[in-house]
Amino acid sequence: MSGAVSSALASVLKARRDEFNQRFLAAQQQHRTLTPEAWHAFLRETLSPVAEIIAAHDAAAVDGVINVLYDQALPLVAKQWLGPAPRDAVFAACYKQLVAALAPLVAREPERMSGAVLNALHQLCAMDGARAKEWTQRVAAILKPVATFATVDQALALGRVIAWRVGLASQREVALREAPALPPDWTRAALDLPFTPDAGLWSALAQNPAMRAEEKMPPIKPEWLGWCGSFRGLGGPFAMLPNLGLAGGRLAASDGQHTWWVAADGYGQQCVRMGAASEWPLESADKSAASKVSEAGAIVLAGRSHPFPELETARDAVWHNGILAVVLRTSYQVALLRCPKL
């Protein structure tokens, strides 16, 4: 493979050679793992295509973009988040794809655009690499054709809508606030809908967290969503078996040390740290759900039993806004289901 970079990047690097070399050496002093080989590979494989694309639209903008991305990427390459041998190949590949696909937008506000992409990928990859890939593909498919005239604010709002759609439930509220102002064909594609979303749909989704955009109404029987959280020793949030309740009006779980928002809706679930348990104590919640979930794992709804083997050894349950959370005697995880009020 050739070691050459594009002429657009080479021109910037040559013009500011001493300055860039000093910045690299300073970063190397701070991060001993940063090697010239890894850094040059990142320049060649990731920044070089970006510089070339931007030069085709606005040659004068290349210098400013490279100046920002150079400093932003140095510690990430040193820590092997980006570069030729990344610790998370999905994270690095998705960043490389998006920063090029959205290059005209990056040129306008490089620190904000690149930073937003990095932050979103960090959250999504922490959940599931497949979700990060889906988010990347959807964002690129919608924004790449319009990147020369879309605004940065529009791009970031669309990114949040798609992040919510692929499972980042913590983005639901902001996504529903911002989506109505976006071009309808964007939101239709973002949510993979066969129809154009209107005010009625946005209102229905705001009122029914368990509802999905493609549905006419929330589910009428319990439906499994997935698990949220795990043992802290394995990288999860809970040091002890969590208890359920509300905190700040949100569904929450606490291990007695820290309280976590259990963000869940029709598209996904995640645990988001709220703070110390002393600052975010669990508030009383409607505990009637607990009596409707048996230790054998069955949910009783309208006199009918719905068995869920995943819920065996259930010890507590809380229902909130269409979401049923269940904790077990045998697991640090929180089970989540879409469910009508019990």
pLDDT in tens, 154-175: 999 999 999 999 999 999 999 9
pLDDT in tens, 103-137: 999 999 999 999 999 999 999 999 899 999 999 99
Q: Measure the CA–CA gap between 9 and 53, rounded to whole angstroms.
A: 10
Q: What is the reported pLDDT for 201?
A: 94
**Cβ neighbours of residue 318 closer than 8 Å, sequence gap 6 or more:** 244, 245, 246, 251, 285, 286, 287, 289, 290, 324, 325
**Cβ atoms 247, 280 nearer than 8 A:** yes
295: left (phi over 0), alpha (psi -120 to 50) or beta: alpha
SS3 5: coil
Residue 20 clears pLDDT 80, i.e. is over it? yes
* Cα dihedral 200, 201, 207, 211 in deg (nearest 10): 150
Residue 260 clears pLDDT 70, i.e. is over it? yes
pLDDT in tens, 278-290: 999 999 777 677 6
Question: Which amino acid makes up residue 180?
Answer: P
pLDDT in tens, 228-252: 999 999 989 999 999 999 999 999 9
For 215-233, what is the mean pLDDT? 91
**Cβ atoms 174, 160 nearer than 8 A:** yes
Q: Measure the CA–CA gap between 97 and 109, rounded to whole angstroms.
A: 18
Q: Measure the CA–CA gap between 289 and 342, rounded to whole angstroms.
A: 6
Closest CA to 98 of 75, 128, 118, 126: 118
For 45, which DSSP code?
A: I
Which neighbouring-strand residues pair with 227?
335
